[in-house]
Amino acid sequence: MATSYKGATKKGSSKKAGARAAATSGAVPPYGEAIRQATARGDEAEMRKAAASARKWIKDAQAALEKLEKRLGKTGGAR
């Protein structure tokens, strides 16, 4: 399944490096497409793996967003 991006799903990779790579490249993991394809194939194991991977990415993205919002609040950048 091709849902990894810039090593973010590889074991041992830095969360900061993955977040930094995604932020600088504008890369967005194609979870919607991966989930649709797994569902279309009907492979339950693949669907579970895609769902778990997407949940992890969402959790990491939410944590990064919260840090960003805190930084914006401290610097007066919030609108």
Residue-wise pLDDT for 49-74, tens only, equals: 999 988 998 999 999 999 999 999 87
17-53 as b/e: b if 16+ CB within 10 A: ebbebbeeeeeebebeebbebbeeeeeeebbeebeeb
Residue 5 lies in a domain: no
Confidence of residue 75 (pLDDT cuts 50, 70, 90): low
Q: Is the pLDDT of residue 48 over 80?
A: yes
The pair of structure tokens assigned to 70 is: 């805190």
Residue ranges making up the domain that contains 52? 18-75
Residue 1 lies in a domain: no
Q: Is 0.85 surpassed by the pTM of this model?
A: no
- Rounded to an integer, what distance in angstroms lies between the CA atom of residue 20 and that of residue 46? 28
pLDDT in tens, 15-43: 555 555 445 556 556 678 888 999 999 99
Residue 31 lies in a domain: yes
